[in-house]
Amino acid sequence: MNAYSPMMALPAERPFDDPGWVFEVKWDGIRAIAYVGETLSVRSRGDKELLGSFPELEELRQLASDAVLDGEIIVLRDGRPNFRAAAQRNQLTNPAEVEEARARSPATFVVFDILEKDGVSLIDSTLKTRLQELRKALRQGRYVVVSAPVEEHGVDYYEAAVKRGLEGVVAKRLSSTYQPGSRSSDWLKIKRVKSCDCVVFGYTPGEGARADTFGALLLGLYDEGRPVYVGRVGTGFTDPDLKDVRATLDGLKVGDPWFSDPDIPPGSTWVRPRLVAVVGYQEATRDLRLRGPRFMGFRDDKPPELCSLSQIRPLRLDEYYAKRDFAATPEPAGGHTPGAGNSFVVQEHHSRRAHWDLRLEKDGVLASWAVPKGVPLEPGERRLAVRTEDHPLEYGGFEGVIPRGQYGAGNVEIWDRGFYVPVRWLDDKVEVVLAGGRLKGRYELVRTDRDRGEWLLFKKP
């Protein structure tokens, strides 16, 4: 059998409906790939053998043969997956403790993909084909279940999941292949509660009842291999947590500071980046600090180096990714071009209904409107403009033919481009001065219908 790294999902801001996608529960547990053959191995994302901690998964020997399965190990509490419970079981090594935990908190392996069957790799097959093969290759058991995704209706499925107290859903493109080790736009995770996996780089001194432990953990994430400070977390710990964590941290101390940010308290202690903490938070601020952080547990199934800043960096292209198959369309996937800060482009788009697309660079993406009758050239002219999904900055230079069967199929040509001076940018009104080859002067966009995304675009005197 081949060895595989799990395919991962990009974060998305909101659910959507699409007949080309399936939607399933986002299970809050430990990602695992099971190799079921003459021997059985269940390995974590960090390549740790998990059978010692979860011996009930030996059941896989009776449920499948000659297969490589991808899924999530979960432990239920009050009918819902509890990550801390799964993480605590994963840390057990003493056989007696493992058996006691198994009886008290049995684990379930939720299988959602098959990567290999009878020595033949399936990763180049579509997800639709793999799901069909999975249902034929694996029987359900007491501790092993097969995920049952729902097609097309992502919005209703997400709302139902949230009402049941689940973390969210994962959306997967039916035509997508399996991309080992990649975080792909073919899989999107839509979560009710934001959380990220952070690396512990140090801790602040404790006060009062915490004088013998610590005040807060200093957190960081990696950006192209460079650690970036994202704040500290001091809530969510139990008393045993505080003592156990401090004992672990004492064995990791280093002398040199990792960060010099002014909001780090003096007297903080620095450690080697070995611990990965799951931290819930409300949002990430513009300077990439976690707002309202709360400690949710540690995980040892993920190497610290994989805890990237992309988890919290504002992403506004989820809808753009969801609508496109980049194996078929020449449109840019984005993410590689630094912005100029205030560029604009107008593209003439001969799709099912010919229109012009006005795109203004804003916060690292191109905010976009479809203008059916074209951008007005004379003062006083008013045109309907429909807000569409944000596009990557690379789209500002795109010209070409989007193939038939793809979203927006048809020819795209650049009609005008240049730069703009922002006058004001509000939720319901955008006013700019355009400086392009054809378009020059002051333009205003005014929202008229929020539900339909309709705006009025006109040129001002």
The residues that bridge with 253 in the sheet, in sequence order, are: 271
The residues that bridge with 410 in the sheet, in sequence order, are: 402
Regarding whether 306 and 435 lie in a shared domain, the answer is no
Can you tell me the distance from the alpha carbon of 361 to that of 340, in angstroms, rounded to the nearest whole number? 8
Regarding whether 432 and 347 lie in a shared domain, the answer is yes
Tokens of 392: 């990557």
- Is there a domain that residue 428 lies in? yes
The total of structural domains in the chain comes to 3
pLDDT of res. 334: 64
pLDDT confidence band for 340 (50 / 70 / 90)? low
Contact call for residues 352 and 440 (beta carbons, < 8 A):
no
Contact call for residues 276 and 230 (beta carbons, < 8 A):
no
- Is there a domain that residue 319 lies in? no
Q: What is the CATH number of the domain that holds 256?
A: 2.40.50.140
- Is there a domain that residue 48 lies in? yes
Regarding whether 223 and 276 lie in a shared domain, the answer is yes
- The pTM of this model reads 0.56
Regarding whether 305 and 171 lie in a shared domain, the answer is no
Asked if residue 338 has pLDDT above 50, the reply is no
Q: What is the CATH number of the domain that holds 128?
A: 3.30.470.30
pLDDT digits (tens, 9 = 90+) for 19-33: 999 999 999 899 999
DSSP E strand boundaries for 118-240: 120-121, 144-146, 150-152, 168-173, 183-191, 195-203, 217-223, 226-233
Regarding whether 380 and 240 lie in a shared domain, the answer is no
Regarding whether 215 and 179 lie in a shared domain, the answer is no
Full residue range of the structural domain in which residue 343 is found: 337-459
Regarding whether 242 and 218 lie in a shared domain, the answer is yes
Regarding whether 148 and 86 lie in a shared domain, the answer is yes
pLDDT digits (tens, 9 = 90+) for 189-246: 988 767 889 999 999 999 999 999 999 999 999 987 899 999 999 999 988 889 999 9
Regarding whether 182 and 36 lie in a shared domain, the answer is yes
- Is there a domain that residue 212 lies in? yes
- Is there a domain that residue 437 lies in? yes
- Is there a domain that residue 253 lies in? yes
Regarding whether 155 and 40 lie in a shared domain, the answer is yes
pLDDT of res. 224: 75
The catalytic residues are: 26
Pairing, β 144-146 against β 107-117? parallel
Regarding whether 214 and 307 lie in a shared domain, the answer is yes
Asked if residue 392 has pLDDT above 90, the reply is no
- Is there a domain that residue 332 lies in? no
- Is there a domain that residue 318 lies in? no
- In terms of pLDDT, which residue wins out, 314 or 185? 185
Regarding whether 355 and 450 lie in a shared domain, the answer is yes
pLDDT of res. 341: 61
